[in-house]
Structure 1
């Protein structure tokens, strides 16, 4: 197996031979064998072991074993202890999901702190088959049927082409010692139920089950790659990006064959799960929205607008008297003192310098805001003004105001306040110019 492993590394992952790797190790046969293979292949690596404190003394003995192994292989080792059950309770997660979050976050922190180029895990072909079967029982798209990827960013899985039987045979031949995790024998976990019962039954029907799956997996991956290429073409045709937001024309989407599948492909990477609700936006009224954890999709007249969800806390930006420009939220505001007014537009405001009190404040508009629109005598609710301007819900939400001495001086990009109009006796004028970053 060593020769096959080394050939596999040279063919698929030659960069591992030049990089600095962090090998995640539990003490089980898979990760211990990977450590021995990497050592024999002269890969530069350190070990990282998580103690999840889930199996009492057994967990402590695993950590001692890993430290002894590191000494035997003459490699650096990092260990970390987690209160996994407490974390799972606090964040309302299953124990398995809590452990996954904790370990991968720690691995990323180690990689950044110690400048590891790659994180190695010991997933193998049988793990990929189990993942495939789990995903089919839960419902999944094409990507969920392609098994575990060989590489995902910094994470590399160099054993994914090898079977559990090959790994066990190599450990036996090399007299490699490892730790047995008692929880692997329990059928209370779905993966163990599949491993202990379903896969053996399928193997009775097809002794070459793993090889057949690997061929199926390759076919599915080819189909996924083809679909990804097609999606890239569709994205460029159906989606327009403006100032960090994506605009999808509803009529164009409706006229595209397999509209629901197209929407899934276009938006899948943005975390949406309620696909019927997403699809129903094509027939919804303006203002209807669907949320993922990171993004929002909103119907606005004849388009769907996709935007990232900003932090809920209102952003306050202070502008000092000596500042010439301020950048925020893909916008730029330039400030200069001039003697007379020049060109007019919605994105240019002229304010009398003597009425301006620094520091100025930029913030999102708020319910209850009032101002006196230029040319009017009385005050008006800002919400009514934005409604009269026929702004979309997203445009309203992204409207900013410039505050001087607790008074709105400018509804940025729309209207100045009449209390800050230029008088005949105005000597110095503050010119504000709004531009958008591409």
Structure 2
């Protein structure tokens, strides 16, 4: 196995040879073999061990065992202790999920602090099969059927092509010792049920099941690569990137494809969406219809779907500007106020007003129903809701609108239009330039 492992590294993970590696070691068979193999290949390694305090004295003996192993192979040793049950209760997680969060957060911290390039974990082919079956049983797409990624950012799993049988044979041949986790014998967890009950039956039906599974995973990864390249092409066609982290998705272009629902699934799955029937219906819904994920929302706006992050609700936030202040930061930018002697060019980010007409402190707030203003260059007043409709502002754009006000009167719909009541005239003595950047 040593030669096969070495060949696999050279062919697929050659960057590890020149890297500083932190190995996650529980003391079990798989992580002990991984540590030993990396030691035999003279990699620069450190050993990291988590004591989750879940099995009393057994957990402490695991910690001592990994310390002894680290000393034997002359590798730096890192250890931490977690109150896993307390963490799981406080964060409303299962023990397994709590342990996963705790260890990965800690591995990342240690790697950063001690400048390890990669963290190696000892997942292998049998683990990959278990993950595949778990995802299959829960219902999944192609991403869930491609198994555990061999490289996932800083985390690398160099034992993925090797079976538990190969790993065990190597350990016995090299007289390695390891710790047996008693909880692995319990069938309380779905992974253990598959390991002890389901997979042995599959191997009895077909002794080549594991190698055939590995071929299947490789075929699925090729399919996934092809699908992703197609999705990239579609994304370039239908996505239009706008300001404020908003993506405009062309409904017309999307509907030119044979299966818009499948296209939307691949385009939006990374944004946390799951209500695919609702998303499909939004294509033909009225403007303003929305679908939410935990992190993003999708809004129908005429011929587009607007995709944007869910942001903090600031509808009740109000900012005041005393006369002595010349700038203030609001969520959409920095407002600058400056007395000037003459006009220069204006645009939607700049207005000029007669300072003597202002009542301080000025106020910056969100718009609300019933607000009206006197549009610069027009006669009479107009409700903001009607102005937004005439300007064809989307729901998202309306939500981002801020108003600069004097007392209760609107001076400026920021980034859009000034109010006629504060415009300069030949009698203006104090000219105030207002800009947002």
TM-score by length of 2: 0.89
Kindly state the Cα deviation for residue 184 of structure 1 after the two structures are TM-superposed. 0.5
State whether residues 373 and 415 of structure 1, in contact with CA within 8 Å, keep that contact through their aligned partners in structure 2: no
Q: Where does residue 16 of structure 1 map in the other structure?
A: 16
SS at match of 2:283: helix
User: 1:90–1:336: structure 2 CA closer, same or farther, 3 Å change rule?
Assistant: same
The answer as to whether partners of 1:350 and 1:431 remain within 8 angstroms in 2 is yes
* Matching residue of 1:131: 131
Measure, in 2, the Cα distance between the counterparts of 1:227 and 1:190.
Answer: 30
Offset of residue 90 of structure 1: 2.2
1:260: Cα distance to partner? 1.1
String of CA shifts for 1:191-238, please: whole Å, max 9, x gaps: 111111111111111100111001111111101000111111111111
CA distance, structure 2, for counterparts of residue 358 and residue 102 of structure 1: 53
- Partners of 2:86 and 2:338 lie apart in 1 by 56
Residue 396 (structure 1) aligns with:
398
Q: Structure 2: how far apart are the matches of 1:182 and 1:423?
A: 86
- For the residues of structure 1 that align with 2:321 and 2:111, how far apart are their CA atoms? 38
Structure 1 residues 111 and 240, CA, compared in 2 at 3 Å: closer, same or farther? Answer: same
- Distance, in Å, in 2 between the alignment partners of 1:167 and 1:341 is 79
What's the CA shift for 1:47?
A: 1.7
Report the secondary structure of 1:283's partner residue.
coil
Q: What per-residue deviation string (whole Å, max 9, x for no partner) do you get for residues 103-123 of structure 1?
A: 212222222222221111110
With 424-433 and 349-358 compared, the bigger mean Cα shift is at 349-358
How far apart, in 1, do the equivalents of 2:15 and 2:318 lie?
46
Q: Greater CA deviation, 98-107 or 226-235?
A: 98-107
Is 2:246 the counterpart of 1:245? Answer: yes
Q: Give the C-alpha shift of residue 367 in structure 1.
A: 4.2
Secondary structure class of the residue paired with 1:340: coil
Q: Give, in whole Å, the separation in 1 of the partners of 2:156 and 2:318.
A: 42
- Residue in 2 that maps onto 1:281: 282
CA distance in 2: counterparts of 1:120 and 1:316, whole angstroms: 50
Specify the SS of the correspondent of 1:346: coil
Give 2:199's aligned residue: 199
**Aligned residue for 2:270?**
269
Does the aligned pair in 2 maintain the 1:128–1:160 contact within 8 Å? yes
Instruction: Pick the aligned partner of 1:410 from 398, 409, 412.
Output: 412
| Aligned residue runs from structure 1 range 74-85, under 5 A | 74-85=74-85
Question: Greater CA deviation, 272-281 or 206-215?
Answer: 272-281
RMSD of aligned residue pairs (Cα, Å): 3.1
Q: 1:384 to 1:27 in 2, by over 3 A?
A: farther
Question: Which shifted more, 421-430 or 128-137?
Answer: 421-430
Query: Which residue number corresponds to residue 99 of structure 2?
Result: 99
Looking at structure 2, the residues matched to 145 and 373 of structure 1 have their Cα atoms a distance apart, in angstroms, of: 60
Q: Tell me the equivalent position of 1:346.
A: 348
Cα distance, 1:248–1:61 mapped onto 2, change above 3 Å: same
Structure 1's 40 and 322: CA in aligned 2 closer, same or farther, altered over 3 A?
farther
**Partner residue in 2 for 1:424:** 426
SS, match of residue 188 in structure 2: coil
Unaligned runs of 5+ in 1: none
Instruction: Give the distance between the partners of 2:201 and 2:404, measured in 1 at CA.
Output: 69
Higher mean alpha-carbon deviation, 221-230 vs 90-99, is at 90-99
Judging changes above 3 Å, is the alpha-carbon distance between structure 1 residues 126 and 403 closer, same or farther for their aligned structure 2 residues?
A: farther
Q: CA 1:86–1:419 in structure 2 vs 1: closer, same or farther (change >3 Å)?
A: farther
Matched position secondary structure for 2:221: helix
Structure-1 residue corresponding to 2:208: 208
Aligned residues between the structures = 433
Matches within 5 A, 1:50-129: 50-129=50-129
Measured in 1, the distance between the counterparts of 2:231 and 2:14 equals 30
Do 2:231 and 2:266's aligned partners in 1 also have CA atoms closer than 8 Å?
A: yes
**1:298 aligned residue:** 299
Alpha-carbon offset, residue 138 of structure 1: 0.6
Q: TM-score, normalised by structure 1?
A: 0.88
Aligned-pair CA distance for 1:95: 1.6
Taking the aligned partners of 2:57 and 2:408, their CA distance within structure 1 comes to 63
- Report the counterpart of residue 179 of structure 2 in structure 1: 179
Local SS of the residue matching 2:227: helix
> Is 1:49 the equivalent of 2:49?
yes
